[in-house]
Structure 1
């Protein structure tokens, strides 16, 4: 971090402590690959944490831009942000993080909602990554997810995965699913969907081949998940998700993170950098806390019953 930035943050910190509003606010530029409930919740959690730490009102310039699901727009946004010279760039989801890391050489970049930061080549290591990049991973517990599906479908033999082969996080998650599924004696049938307009087709290609469908943490699939849900209803194939927000949109059940809380955890990293720590000295964090969401109405519409044991431990039941 430049000396001028450190000096600026010292002034900001002093102003916060004294209650005096200062004219040169801290500038946090935030971007996400697409707008959907989980990623929006991350953004909101980040901003709330900044506010709670005194970065608010005239002390904070907070901007947000969505790439509308397009990697070329993500790259344009990243270049514009670097030109604007914010104090910190926060990139939500893997494609936006990759775009920001590619163009930012000195401005701190904090990523969030990235499944596999190493596979995405955002950092060389999770421990003290060095350079100007750190952040938070939402790596899922795949065995827990597949075990949940088996509770609904005890004779589960095959699970279908619609995914975008262009998203590094999705490819990484698919590889994890295949590895864990093989250990559990479950066959994985993949169905690629490079664009949101392909999601319905990808889901339909799984009909007659799988006992259940699992939507990974894939921004393309999540953006059009209602298409997968419709196929699940029509074909009587239960749809499960890697994120809990998708349950309210029609998935039968999911074990996942509270993405608002994940945003708050990301915000804590941003605050540490604004207070003078170098991003390269901050370990990449793994998201904490998991919830179990269940949608009994959708389970019935897709031909499965919610086990009593699942209902008993559910964090939230979608009515």
Structure 2
């Protein structure tokens, strides 16, 4: 009898152990099934949410304003990053090899639209794909940069927005500030195609106006201190075309200009805020909004060929009164009133 009871107890305990094991196995199977279906649902959701890849050369205030305007325009149209759209933003930190790697990454991720902020970023994207639509988010001369052949009727996968500075307005402004100007200096980065394009336009316009122009170029930001010191010893004022390298090192240029008591007339409003004297600037935030509008049009099914390259025809007046005081210069009343009415006054 004792043997029978012990055997019954063993079967009973073994049954309880097996029951628990089956329970644990059932829980594990349920957990794995839930995880599997959740992952599948997330993957399906990711497939449905379009991705926009954004590539920029570097950080500086003007480029950051373009990206800010771009995101704001998408949000205004109902495209919320992380909800119904994914924005993959890549910053190359002014490194050409980073541009190539990041452009390939964005292309391989099968972004529905690619956005290139600056000429080098747009060129890197164009070299990585001939199929995915590319929107230029501020490229000074898309045709000269080899990005489009026909700005009115794009024939490839590239269109976008040009940030070409209003050079004629800027030169008129310099003469208004400095009617007795004898020599104007221009400084630009020789490796930046946008800066080179802007320099050539300044050169041609100065020849037409018979303005004595002295030319100074840098290879990179390390050259700016020495070259700008040399420039300010030889000129009465300096003009800067659209130039990302100089925009990113504006403090150095301003330091040397102030030391020599010579004004700087830069291309962008953000560079005036950093210590330039005045300009007629293409609004960087609005450029971003224009880039956003074009991206939205493509997301909604518009073909690149139906979207001509867009340009801002007139610049907005900007003046830095603190800088004018530093240089003992008086802002022309006409221009100051225009800034107060339709532009920006930094004090």
Fold agreement, TM-score > 0.5: yes
* Alignment counterpart, residue 30 of structure 1, candidates 50, 54, 71: 54
Match of 1:125 in 2: 150
Q: Deviations over 1:220-256 (max 9, x none)?
A: 0100011111111101111111111111100011111
1:72: how far off?
2.2
Aligned equivalent of 1:274:
299
Structure 1 Cα separation of the partners of residues 275 and 106 of structure 2: 36
Residue 130 of structure 2 aligns to a residue whose secondary structure is coil
Structure 1 position 227 matched with structure 2 position 227? no
The answer to whether the 8 A contact 2:164-2:242 is kept is no
Match of 2:346 in 1: 318
C-alpha separation between the residues in 2 aligned to 1:289 and 1:181?
19
Unpaired segments ≥5 residues, structure 2: 1-44
**Aligned residue pairs, count:** 299
Displacement of 1:54: 2.1
What's 1:203 paired with?
Answer: 228
**TM-score with structure 1 setting the length:** 0.90
| Bigger mean CA offset, 38-47 vs 216-225 | 38-47
2:285 matched to which residue of 1?
260
Query: Aligned to 1:58, what secondary structure does the other structure show?
Result: coil
Verify the 8 A CA contact 1:157 1:185 in the aligned structure 2: no
Q: What is the DSSP-based 3-state SS (H/G/I as helix, E as strand, rest coil) of the residue aligned with 1:31?
A: strand
Matches within 5 A, 1:119-268: 119-268=144-293
**Equivalent-residue separation in structure 2 for 1:131 and 1:281 (angstroms):** 11
- In structure 2, the residue corresponding to 1:254 is in which secondary structure? strand
The residue number in structure 2 matching 1:14 is: none
Note if contact 2:279-2:319 (Cα within 8 Å) is conserved in structure 1: yes
1:105 and 2:130 equivalent? yes
**Displacement of 1:60 after TM fit?**
0.7
Tell me the distance in 1 between the aligned counterparts of 2:308 and 2:192. 24
Deviation at 1:288, TM superposition (A): 5.3
Partner of 1:65: 90
Instruction: Tell me if the contact between 1:232 and 1:239 (Cα under 8 Å) persists in the aligned partners.
Output: yes
- Tell me the SS of whatever aligns to 1:206: helix
Determine if contact 1:130/1:281 at 8 Å carries over to the other structure. Answer: no
Is the contact between residue 241 and residue 266 of structure 2 (CA under 8 Å) also seen in structure 1?
A: yes
Question: Is this contact kept in 2: 1:193–1:221, CA < 8 A?
Answer: no
User: How large is the Cα RMSD of the aligned pairs?
Assistant: 1.5
Determine the C-alpha separation between the residues in 2 that align with 1:141 and 1:302. Answer: 24
Cα distance, 1:303 vs structure 2: 3.5
**Whole-angstrom distance in 1 between the partners of 2:156 and 2:306:** 8
The offset of 1:37, in angstroms, is 1.1
User: Match for 2:107 among 63, 82, 91?
Assistant: 82
Q: Say whether the 8 Å CA contact 1:252–1:296 is kept in structure 2.
A: yes
Larger Rg: 2
Compute the TM-score of the two structures, normalised by the length of structure 2: 0.83
Distance 2:175 2:115 in 1: 37
Question: C-alpha separation between the residues in 1 aligned to 2:259 and 2:71?
Answer: 40
CA distances 1:278-315 after superposition (whole Å, capped 9, x unpaired): 11331111125531111111122224221222211111
Gap runs ≥5 in structure 1: 1-21
Residues 1:45 and 2:69 aligned together: yes
CA–CA distance in structure 1, aligned partners of residues 212 and 144 of structure 2? 24
Kept in 2: contact 1:159–1:210 (CA 8 A): yes
Shift, 1:257, TM fit: 1.7
